[in-house]
Structure 1
Amino acid sequence: MLVFYYELDVYKLSRQLAKDVYVISKKFSIEKRYSLTDQIRRSSRSVGAQLAESWGKRRYVNHFISKLSDSDAEQYETQHWIEVALDCELVSKGERDLVVNTCEIINPKLNAMMNKADLFCSIVKK
């Protein structure tokens, strides 16, 4: 059965991550709007974008894995920025935990996809 990227749990989680980060970062001060706000929003949105892009590269296993790896790197970057926001007292520990917990669910799902890349890519080659 053919599955589309937007049906994957990990993609749905990436969308939720981007939404949560957007809502949390809306309250950042104007001063932070063009630095930290931009960085954390960009990295959180990129998790799902890289995953979607990987779907288009399933014809080539190494390209597929590379894009999934980029997606995983973006979730780590998002974790970094939310920690910085906590250090700067821009978010609560609960808000930080929400973002980090979502990233910690996304990470093993992306790694499982990378480890089983042949299964995802064989769907395209048939």
Structure 2
Amino acid sequence: MAFSFEDPKVYKAAIDWNDNINQVLDSLGSNCSRSLRDQMERASLSIPLNIAEGNGRWHKGKKRQFFWIARGSAFECFAILQVMARRGLLSDSTVGNLYDQLAEISKMLSAFIRSVDKLKSRA
């Protein structure tokens, strides 16, 4: 059975982001603090999870709320990337690559939120 949230490009991009950041975190080994790693793992996983949960909601207000949370988690990942970069944990090219992926996800989520606003609310 296919779930409706699997189709949007933003969901697929969020899953790809999660895979990519986990590979980066694994490559850091013990150079990255456990708390910073944990925060990035949770924030990056929150993006696709909230997209999926939002798509499972009938009411557009609830959908929008979960998509806003996903967008907030993407912004949290931006901040964590900056912290990791300042600590010298990631190369400039890695940061740039990951930043570009998150920027695209954030734009897609913003468009997704706007599209939900155009839906008729279901009772």
TM (normalized to structure 2)?
A: 0.88
Number of equivalent positions: 121
1:66 deviation in Å? 0.6
**1:6 — aligned with what?**
6
Superposed, 1:76-115 pairs within 5 Å as 76-115=75-114
Kept in 2, the 8 Å contact 1:65–1:117? The answer is yes
C-alpha distance in 2 between matches for 1:118 and 1:112: 10
C-alpha distance in 2 between matches for 1:9 and 1:116: 14
Three-state SS of the structure 2 residue aligned to 1:35 is helix
**1:69 — aligned with what?**
68
Q: Residue type matched to 1:55 in 2?
A: N
Identity percentage over the alignment? 17
Three-state SS of the structure 2 residue aligned to 1:90 is coil
C-alpha distance in 1 between matches for 2:108 and 2:32: 32
Give the gaps of 5 or more residues in structure 2: none
1:32 deviation in Å? 3.0
Which consecutive aligned stretches of 4+ in structure 1 deviate over 3 angstroms post-superposition?
none
When the two chains are superposed, the root-mean-square deviation of aligned CA atoms in Å is 2.0
TM (normalized to structure 1)?
A: 0.87
1:83 deviation in Å? 1.0
Q: Residue type matched to 1:27 in 2?
A: S
Q: Residue type matched to 2:4 in 1?
A: F
Kept in 2, the 8 Å contact 1:28–1:37? The answer is no
1:99 deviation in Å? 1.3
Give the gaps of 5 or more residues in structure 1: none
**1:34 — aligned with what?**
34
C-alpha distance in 2 between matches for 1:41 and 1:78: 9
